[in-house]
Amino acid sequence: MIKFNTWKKQIPFILMCLIYTGAFIDVSAAQKEPEVKTVYPVPPPAHKEREAEEVFPVVPPFVIRGLFPCQACHRKGIRKESREIDRNNLFFGKYFKSPNLKPRILSRMHVNIKLQHGEFQWCLNCHATDERNYLKLINGDIISLVESYRLCGQCHGLIYRDWKSGIHGRRVGQWNGKKLYLLCVHCHDPHSPKFRKIMPKDPPRRPNYGRWESVNSIK
Amino acid sequence: MYKVRHFFYQLTQRLIKGPPIYYAWILFLLALIGIGAYAYAQQLKQGMTVTGLTDQVSWGLYIGNFTFLVGVAAAAVLLIVPAYIYDFGPIKEITILGEILAASALFMCMLFVTVDLGHPERVWHLLPIVGTPNFPSTLLGWDIIVINGYLLINIGIATYLLGMLYLEKPENKWIYMPFVLLSIPWAIGIHTVTAYLYNGLGARPFWNTAIIVPRFLASAFCSGPAISIMAFQLIRKFTRFEVRDEALFKMAEMVAIAMGLNLVLLGAEVFKEIYTDTWHKAPILYLFVGLHGHSALVKWIWISMGCNLLAFILFLIPTTKKNHVTLNLACILIVIGVWLEKGMGFIIPGFVPTPLGEIWEYWPKTVEILVSLGILGFGLLHYTLALKIAIPIETGEMRVLGTLPVSKNGNKGLRGLIKNLYIKIQGIVNKDIPIPR
Amino acid sequence: MRKKESNGVSRRTFLKASGAASAVLALGGCGFREKFFSSNDTLKEFIQRNFKEMSPEEIEEVRQRLLKQYKKKYGRDFVLGTEPPFPNVVFAYGLDLSRCIGCRRCVYACVQENNQSRRPEIQWIRVLRFKKGSMNFEESDHYYDPRMVPEEGYYYMPVQCQQCENPPCVKVCPTKATWKDSDGIVVIDYNWCIGCRYCMAACPYWARRFNFAEPEIPIKEINRNLHYLGNRPRMRGVVEKCTFCVQRTRRGRYPACVEVCPVGARKFGNILDPKSEISQVIERQRVFRLKEDLNTQSRFYYFFSI
């Protein structure tokens, strides 16, 4: 401890201590509240993305015959047309002038398609209501099945970003040249995209295969 | 020219003639070598699949024997140090025998490595100019250099000393002492480099500890001299060579110290793994108690521990050390113990578990055992034949220009005096030896 | 004591010498030396030098000899390349552990692509199954055989040669039979390897396999696009391992395991190119490498993307 003869000689020391402490307090207060002004980025205008989106040369999707083109059945005036073609085999039921937009599980047609894609989904979330051959995006765009990656990319943004760089999914082709871009639907069934389990190939042979086995035991 | 012819004449006489037990022994060894050669031919024909080796345990009996025999080669240095550094008389007479044992052991080492290769005809790839040795980064390259170097040093010193004795010329200290002194650090070197072979692999935590270097040295100084002690007693019995008991007891003392050190170091290694209790304890557990039900080596390592401990006690207590029966028993126990601990008990746990966690055990198959016995036979044959030449030279029975039989007292006494005079006179007459001034 | 000739050479010696000289010339003229050495392929293979030190002519000679040998043995024509690495390319590999389902299709695609022995069985890739919660190799299972994969509560990790930047196997090879090429692939010259298996003891990933017996490849399944340092049919007594499919990657294609993986768990590319797939993976995913504490600086990056 520093010894002083009189209290007067202690004053410079006390002043120094106060100044240092004050400086620390000042500095720490400054660190807690920075005085930098932040600016929020301007949100992008609507439909601006259409030009900015990259278009990828993809392998065209496969479609199930009999179900595609959808607009063979799902179009305006189909009731009238079908009445004209075949009087006996009319559409009966609840096919009114406009499609039924109520989310429900279908019971008459497309019962083979099990929709197990997230929760609270139903067909017309993705399939365009009026142009049934196409898909629709959240911002209102109507896209063809060849561009279906944009639809998937709306929700699966990180995977979409990876797929655009080529690091999602199976790679076939040249690592230093032309790459093959597959659509999402080439691997993932859009209606129930979770991969099913598959049979694995055989395990490796044990090293004691065909050898004297009294000491080597099977793990 | 006459002398060279005479030398070869004496050589062949010495090698061919001997007591019946000599013939039996040589025939036995030749039979062993024959069986070994046949087994090796099978291995060459069908590939190494006839051995018990697998991708998981890729080194086995051959490399285990190689490791053990590099230790046996330390027999020489344990004799040289007391003989030349401490000038201990009784041992000085027998250093040459130790060097010959070291040479035999080193020949066996090189043979074991050769039979372990998948392509032994491609060994020339290791040589400097015609091949591409990966020197200095590979320790196998260093191992080859130090082992061959030590072999040459031993053979060189032994040949020089025996040659001078044979020619009855005085030995020139300046020629052989530098090599003798060089052989001491070089012997430490061969064990260190062999230990580095295993030590430098980060993939095998059982080996990747610095303690295996002093452990190798300690167990080397046990096994080599133990074999020497037994060999010297046999030599004493079958030939006229004199080996004093003091020499044997001194060697036994040094073995005791070395075994004590070995046990301490082993204890340290086991403690470190068991107490720290990381995944790296798996090989030690496999060795001492078994791992997930695999316990092929457990009883062998405990036998080895028992042998080592018992031998240590026998060597330590002066009464048992001086009693020839217990001395020999202790030597045999040490050889068994060190072979189990440093041969299979060192190599196999390095591979169990594999770097990816598999546990596969290894047991040598018949082919490996036969080839190993064949190589052992070869080493013993070399040792026997070399001794058959060296000992008569040492005792004076084989000398240049005539081999007068030596009496029971050797070259001492009146008869020896007369014999020496006779030899000198003969030499002067034939103008080979200058007239002593 | 014979009487010495006083002057010059005797008639006898002259006749002897000329006879010998003419014999030598005759032998030399008929090309005895070339005939003996050229027709003996085994001898040529024996005196072959290390691939790294061969001149282009020697390499071409070796190539022709090997093609002839394979034609004789398998009855088919092969394509044997000896392409050097691309400049400014270092290969790296990414493996998505959240997606691997342990189906082992990569293992068998590799076996077929790289002409690995079927008996005794050699597989360069080994798929490990871990229980969720740890990565304890000792508790992994290599021989899992369920009806369907992926199984609940487990995850899978395929391991193959990591093509380390600081490879312990290259460090310990006594003959420089294995080395790291400039494109990052650790290759083996099968004609130079002496089969000492030191590299197998040194590899921390158990990536190397030894041909304990003569490898057996069914002729119908043999892959005829070969590379000298990669998938050419090996002989017994030499060590082999994954080479990132040199025969494919040095011609611009993906390795076989990358192309066959049904869930797209494998990524491959040139790590020196910032726009390549593997660079993107390293940039975006949190990659790790196995046994990084051993400082092998492996070029095989594992990550969990989901």
pLDDT tens-digit series, residues C258-301:
999 999 999 999 999 998 999 999 999 999 999 999 999 999 99
Residue A143: pLDDT band with limits 50, 70, 90: confident
- On the question of pLDDT at C92 being above 80, the answer is yes
- Quick check: A215 and B361 CB within 8 A? yes
pLDDT at A86: 62
pLDDT at A110: 84
Residue A145: pLDDT band with limits 50, 70, 90: confident
User: Tokens 């691309």 sit at which residue?
Assistant: C86
Identify the CA nearest to C205 among candidates B112, B3, B31, B357: B357
Does C260 map to a domain?
no
- Quick: pLDDT tens for B7-45: 888 888 888 888 899 999 999 999 999 999 999 999 999
- Quick check: C172 and B139 CB within 8 A? yes
In chain A, positions 1-40, which contact chain B (CB-CB < 8 Å)?
none
Residue C149 is nearest to which of A166, A187, A198, comparing CB atoms? A198
Domain count, chain C: 1
- Quick check: B132 and C211 CB within 8 A? no
**3-state SS, residue A38:** coil
Q: What is the DSSP string of B217-268?
A: HHHHHHHHHHHHHHHHHHHHHHSS----HHHHHHHHHHHHHHHHHHHHHHHH
**Residue C158 lies in domain:** 97-247
Contacts of C105 in chain A (CB under 8 A): 201
Contacts of C142 in chain B (CB under 8 A): 356, 358
Task: State the sign of the Cα–Cα–Cα–Cα dihedral C38, C42, C48, C51.
Answer: positive
- Quick check: C270 and A176 CB within 8 A? yes
Query: Is C27 or C80 the better-scoring residue by pLDDT?
Result: C80
Whole-angstrom Cα distance, residue B401 to residue B2? 9
- On the question of pLDDT at B147 being above 80, the answer is yes
pLDDT at C29: 46
Report the interhelical angle of B173-199 vs B61-72 (nearest 10°). 150
pLDDT at B375: 97
- Quick check: B296 and A208 CB within 8 A? no
B83, burial (CB in 10 Å: exposed 0-12, middle 13-18, buried 19+)? buried
- Quick: pLDDT tens for C240-265: 999 999 999 999 999 999 999 999 99
- Quick check: B363 and A219 CB within 8 A? no
- Quick check: B292 and A207 CB within 8 A? no
**Best residue in C126, C138, C192 for a mutation probing chain B (most B CBs within 10 Å):** C138
Chains contacting chain C through 3 or more C-beta pairs under 8 A: A, B
Q: What is the number of CB-based contacts under 8 A between chain A and chain B?
A: 23
- Quick: pLDDT tens for B354-375: 999 999 989 999 999 999 999 9
Whole-angstrom Cα distance, residue B288 to residue C275? 53
Tokens at residue B314, please? 């026998």
| Average pLDDT of the residues of chain C | 88
Comparing alpha-carbon positions, the chain A residue that sits nearest to C92 is: A175
Task: Inform me whether the C-beta atom of residue A219 falls under 8 Å from chain B C-beta atoms.
Answer: yes
Q: CA C112 from chain center: how many Å?
A: 15
Does C115 map to a domain?
yes
Does C201 map to a domain?
yes
Comparing alpha-carbon positions, the chain A residue that sits nearest to B291 is: A219
Task: Inform me whether the C-beta atom of residue A204 falls under 8 Å from chain B C-beta atoms.
Answer: no
Task: Inform me whether the C-beta atom of residue A211 falls under 8 Å from chain C C-beta atoms.
Answer: no
Does C46 map to a domain?
no
**ipTM, interface predicted TM-score of the complex:** 0.86
Contacts of A189 in chain C (CB under 8 A): none
Comparing alpha-carbon positions, the chain A residue that sits nearest to B49 is: A211
Residues C102, A204 contacting (CB under 8 angstroms): no
Tokens at residue C136, please? 């304890």
Whole-angstrom Cα distance, residue B404 to residue B406? 6
Does C227 map to a domain?
yes
- Quick check: B58 and C210 CB within 8 A? yes
Does C64 map to a domain?
no
Residues B285, B348 contacting (CB under 8 angstroms): no
Q: CA geometry: angle at B316 spanning B310 and B322, to 5°?
A: 105
- Quick check: C264 and A171 CB within 8 A? yes
Residue A204 is nearest to which of C101, C143, C259, comparing CB atoms? C143
Query: Is A153 or C33 the better-scoring residue by pLDDT?
Result: A153
Task: Inform me whether the C-beta atom of residue C161 falls under 8 Å from chain B C-beta atoms.
Answer: no
Whole-angstrom Cα distance, residue B80 to residue B95? 6
Kindly list the residues of chain C whose beta carbon comes within 8 Å of any beta carbon in chain A: 86, 89, 94, 101-105, 107-108, 120-121, 123, 126, 141-150, 249, 252-254, 258-259, 261-264, 266-270, 276-277, 280-281, 284, 305
Residue B55 is nearest to which of A207, A211, A216, comparing CB atoms? A207
A214 min Cα distance to partner chain B (Å): 10
Whole-angstrom Cα distance, residue B348 to residue B360? 10
Contacts of C269 in chain A (CB under 8 A): 175
Identify the CA nearest to B95 among candidates B157, B169, B29: B157
**pTM of this structure:** 0.82
- Quick: pLDDT tens for B298-338: 999 999 999 999 999 999 999 988 889 999 999 999 999 99
- Quick check: B54 and A207 CB within 8 A? yes
Contacts of B132 in chain C (CB under 8 A): 50, 52-53, 175-176, 192
Whole-angstrom Cα distance, residue A193 to residue A113? 12
Q: What average pLDDT does the segment B249-272 reach? A: 93
What B284-292 contacts at long range (C-beta under 8 Å, 24+ apart), as own/partner pairs, is B284/B206, B284/B349, B286/B349, B286/B352, B286/B353, B286/B359, B287/B345, B287/B349, B291/B352, B291/B353, B291/B359, B292/A219, B292/B359
Does C29 map to a domain?
no
- On the question of pLDDT at A43 being above 50, the answer is no
Residues C245, C256 contacting (CB under 8 angstroms): yes
Q: What average pLDDT does the segment C224-230 reach? A: 93
- Quick check: B47 and C214 CB within 8 A? yes
pLDDT at C242: 96
Whole-angstrom Cα distance, residue C296 to residue A33? 45
Report the interhelical angle of B298-316 vs B324-338 (nearest 10°). 150
- Contact residues for B185 (Cβ-Cβ < 8 A; gap 6+): none
A116 min Cα distance to partner chain B (Å): 39
Contacts of A216 in chain B (CB under 8 A): 360-361, 363
Q: CA C248 from chain center: how many Å?
A: 13
- Quick: pLDDT tens for A71-114: 777 777 777 776 666 666 555 544 456 777 888 888 878 888 88
Tokens at residue B46, please? 């069908």
Task: Inform me whether the C-beta atom of residue A97 falls under 8 Å from chain B C-beta atoms.
Answer: no
Residues B177, B84 contacting (CB under 8 angstroms): yes
Tokens at residue B23, please? 């013939």
**Per-residue CA distances from A60 to A148, A178, C3 (Å):** 10, 17, 104
